[in-house]
Amino acid sequence: MRLRFVVFGALLVLLAGAAIALRSSLPAAERGRRLALRTGCFACHGPEGTRGTSNPGRADKTVPTFDDDLMMFAKSREEIREWIRDGASAAKKKSETWRRDRERGTLRMPAFGRRLGPRQIDDLVAFVEAAGGRPEPEDSLAARGLERSRALGCNGCHGPGGRLARPNPGSLKGYVPSWDGRDFPELVQDRAEFGQWVEHGVSRRFEQNPLARFFLDRAVLRMPAFEKHLEPGDVDVLWAYVRWLRDRASVGAGRPG
């Protein structure tokens, strides 16, 4: 009887550990991207907000994008929030020229304040900021890391600035981990392990773990080995950017949302 209880207890511990390991932990920007898809934002702003559709009647002729056009319409995070919540920023609403142009346009930005809660709007703000490349690091090493991540194509899977978690069927949690996500430390413990992922496409710790190897092999998207494509110092500047991004995320984690 005692052995049965011991086995049952051990099974419960294993199941609890598996549940924790499999629990998804999407970053705010990725939650916002998925919400934008469900809410219809991409119908006008284009795929992931990067290609605005035509808007006859308007002087600018197309719906603004989240990347190239963002600075012309929103100078701050609060103004992005106003556009989503109220359909326009307070500054634009004061402009008679803008109001006339809006009236001539075929498409008009809807107000989502009554459809979405504050947390959902915060997630959309995070996504729009990420898509628009805001903010960029002032530290020169981190800024260089961001630049090199773009040149190496990291944004393709990890999203702009490494801040998204795109779907990845077959992987352990079903998505590509973001660099500022809560589950990043499960994959990368330190600078040395980060270098192994970048240079060889996998860390030694994961390569030697049969369970980890199983999920890595069955995933649709697999981390490539960049060793032959790196410039001297690339791993250091990439790591500097990741640390900057994670420090920024940890500061924002205490905000109400």
pLDDT digits (tens, 9 = 90+) for 16-71: 333 344 456 899 999 999 999 999 999 999 999 999 999 999 988 999 999 988 88
Whether residues 120 and 39 fall in one domain? yes
- Closest C-alpha among 201, 196, 194, 193 to residue 224: 201
**91 and 149 share a domain?**
no
> At which of 104, 131, 158 does a domain end?
131
Query: Distance between CA atoms of 214 and 58, rounded to whole angstroms?
Result: 53
pLDDT at 216 over 50: yes
Q: Is residue 8 part of a domain?
A: no
Q: Given pLDDT bands bounded at 50, 70 and 90, which one contains residue 213?
A: very high
> Would you tell me how many other CB atoms lie within 10 Å of the CB of residue 177?
27
Question: What local confidence, expressed as pLDDT, does residue 187 receive?
Answer: 96
Residues 109 and 56 in one domain: yes
- Residue 9: predicted pLDDT: 41
CB 103 within 8 A of CB 77: no
Q: Tell whether the model's pLDDT for residue 171 goes beyond 90.
A: yes
Do residue 147 and residue 124 come from a single domain?
A: no
Residue 2 lies in a domain: no
Phi, psi at 54, each rounded to 5°? -65, 145
Total number of domains in the chain: 2
Does residue 147 sit in the same domain as residue 104?
no
Per-residue model confidence (pLDDT) at position 251: 65
**How far out from the chain centre does Cα 135 lie?**
13
What CATH number does residue 248 fall under? 1.10.760.10
Identify whether 209 is part of a domain: yes
pLDDT per residue as tens digits for the range 6-29: 434 433 333 333 334 445 689 999
Q: Which residue's structure tokens are 């939650």?
A: 31
pLDDT, tens digit, for every residue of 174-199?
Answer: 999 999 999 999 999 999 999 999 99
Residue 235: domain span: 140-252
Indicate if 146 and 112 belong to the same structural domain: no
> pLDDT digit string (tens) for 97-149?
999 999 999 999 999 999 999 999 999 999 999 999 999 999 999 999 999 99
Same domain for 104 and 152, yes or no, is no
Q: Looking at 105, 131, 157, which one is the last position of a domain?
A: 131
Digit-coded pLDDT (tens) for 150-163: 999 999 999 999 99
Please identify, among 100, 131, 162, the residue that sits at the C-terminal boundary of a domain: 131
Report CA torsion sign: 187, 157, 179, 235: positive
Q: In this structure, are 173 and 203 located in the same domain?
A: yes
Please tell me whether residues 110 and 145 are part of one structural domain: no
Is 12 part of any domain? Answer: no
Residue 257, pLDDT > 70, answer no
Given this model, what pLDDT does residue 71 score? 84
Q: What is the pLDDT of residue 70?
A: 86
pTM assigned to the model: 0.85
Per-residue confidence (pLDDT) for residue 128, from 0 to 100 = 97
Whether residue 68 lies inside any domain: the answer is: yes
Residue 213 within any structural domain of the chain: yes
Is there a single domain that holds both residue 178 and residue 234? Answer: yes
